[in-house]
Each structure stands twice: as structure tokens, then as C-alpha cells.
Amino acid sequence: MSTQVPTGTVPATPRPTGLTPAVEARGVGKVFRTRAGEVTALENVSLTIAPGEFVSLIGPSGCGKSTLLRLVADLDAPTSGELSIFGKAPRVARENQDYGIAFQQAGLLPWRTVRANIELPLELHGVGRAGRAARAAELLELVGLADFAGHFPHQLSGGMQQRVAIARALAEQPSLLLMDEPFGALDEMTRERMQTELVRICQESQAAVVFVTHSIPEAVFLSDRVVVMSPRPGRIRQVVPITLTGGAERSEELREDASFFAAVTAVREALHEGHGDRVPADGPATTPMPRGVDAR
């Protein structure tokens, strides 16, 4: 099967029939107001993600990828536009615990063991001790840390800590996963293994995923669609649908398949499209980002 590549303007985002979208953004914008002035991180972002769909956000540093993820997670509020998660306001979705999160920083509780950190969401939701232990054991095997279940975070490397955070995000098999470069601290071999396992987990759970990455091959391997964003202020430049040999049953062999390389090329070309376009000297894309503002 060949890789389908959109041409011209950004195509309309498909809206799932008869299903409430996992994520729906309509004209979303985000302006950070600081003492140094206003910084437009996102501008007029519209995107619909279907239940069970895996969508990666990719673009240059500072384009607002992480900002958009934070808006979905209700860790910040949009300045303009509307955003819904399974038809709910982000605040309600957060309170209902409709999603799991794995961000760049592991955020583990230092006084809890690896096993106890993974069990934490289950414990908060009243899952019994036996159920927590069984799920934690399964996830520890998945992320390759079964021998470290009794260790504390400070006894682990940064990459190992991040694997614990990923396991914790998957603990309750959520309907939506929000992931901000969760594999960035891992070595290449472990990173590829985790990508393959994440594909399997998402197929089994039917969870939708919004995945931020700087890696084109990672985005292509994982995604149904790759959303390519422009330099700040972040807009959706192009949406690249990914069709790989083997369809949903993605495997390590796909990394050497011609369709994989074709999709990587398509995303790379979308990223570089308009790279030489000039931006007005007083435009927001050239405004320095004030200290303490993260508009990735």
C-alpha cells in the first residue's frame, strides 16, 4: 500500500460517524501574557481525533506542540476557541479521569517504590490490593523493570524513571493517552521496543493517543496521522495520513519497508514546506519567549 500524502491546503479533519470524538479542537488559540508582552503560542488550531486513533504532533521547537497537549489535559486554558474531550470540557474530563498522561518529566513520588508508583492511580480509584499487584506486575514486565519493582526513583536512571511513568499512565487502560516525548530519554533499542509495545497496547485497549515527538520515524511508525505544525505561532500546516504495509499490525519489519521510508519522506517534506518563508520582523513568530513560558 502506498502512503497517501495531502496536497495543497490542510484537508478537513475527518469527523467520526456516530461516535463522540476523543479530542475536538475548534479554532483554539493560546496567548501567554507576561510582563514582557504577549506571546502567541497557538493560533486557530482545529483538529478532531477519533476514538482509538493515534495522532502525533510534530514541528520545530517552540511551535506549541506541548502547549496544545497541556490544553487538552486541562493543565492550562485556551485563550480562544473551544476544546472538548469525549464531548466534555477538559476540566470535566480531568475530573472524570478519562485520560492517562506521560510527560517528559517522570514525576514519580520519591517515597514510593517503583511498584507503588505504578499502582498509585489504581489505589486512588479503589482497586483492591490483588488487582493492583497483578496489573503492576504486568506493566513492569512490559517496560522491562520487573527486577526493579522494589527500588525507589532515586535508584533508577532517568530513562528507567520515564519507563515507570509510562507504565503508571497505562495502569488503568485509559480511553485517551496524552504523551509528551515519553521515549526521549530512552536508548534507541529500548525506544523502538517501547514503540512496538505501545502500538500493541493501543490496539488492545482501543485508546486514542495524542503523542508529541521530535522524531519523524517515531511519528510515522506509531501514527494513523501526523499533524505537522508551523513555527510559532503554532498552526496546523499539514496533516499527513500514514498508510503502511501491514496496516494496523505494525511490526519491526515495517522499519525496513518502502512504505515506511515513503511516509518519513512525506512528513519531512511537510515540515520543510515554507521553511524559507519570511515572517514580519514585528510578528509573534520572532518574539522572544519570556522566561518561564513553555510554548513547545
| Closest by Cα among 5, 3, 1, 2 to 239 | 5
Whether the pLDDT of residue 36 is over 90: the answer is no
Q: What's residue 272's pLDDT?
A: 87
Q: Helix, strand or coil for residue 190? A: helix
Q: Is the peptide bond before 11 cis (omega within 30 degrees of 0)?
A: no
pLDDT of residue 76: 93
Residue 8: predicted pLDDT: 33
pLDDT of 190-200, one tens digit each? 788 888 878 87
* 81-100 tens-digit pLDDT: 999 999 999 999 988 888 98
- Look at residue 275 in the predicted model and tell me its pLDDT: 54
Question: Is residue 259's pLDDT more than 60?
Answer: yes
170, exposed or middle or buried, with CB in 10 Å at 0-12, 13-18, 19+?
buried
CATH 3.40.50.300 residue ranges of the chain are: 1-98+176-296
- Give the 3-state secondary structure of residue 3: coil
Query: If you search the block for the grid coordinates 469525549, which residue do you land on?
Result: 86
pLDDT of 12 strictly over 80:
no
pLDDT band at 9 (very low <50, low <70, confident <90, very high): very low
Assigned fold of 1-98+176-296:
Rossmann fold (3.40.50)
Q: Which three cell numbers stand for residue 68?
A: 496544545
d(CA 131, CA 276): 55
pLDDT (tens digit per residue) in 223-242 = 999 999 999 889 999 999 99
With bands split at pLDDT 50, 70 and 90, how would you rate the model's confidence at 143?
confident
**Helix and strand element counts for the chain (H, E):** 8, 9
Q: Whole-model pTM?
A: 0.79
User: Shortest CA distance to 45 belongs to which of 82, 87, 73?
Assistant: 82
> How far is residue 34's CA from residue 14's CA, in Å, rounded to a whole number?
36
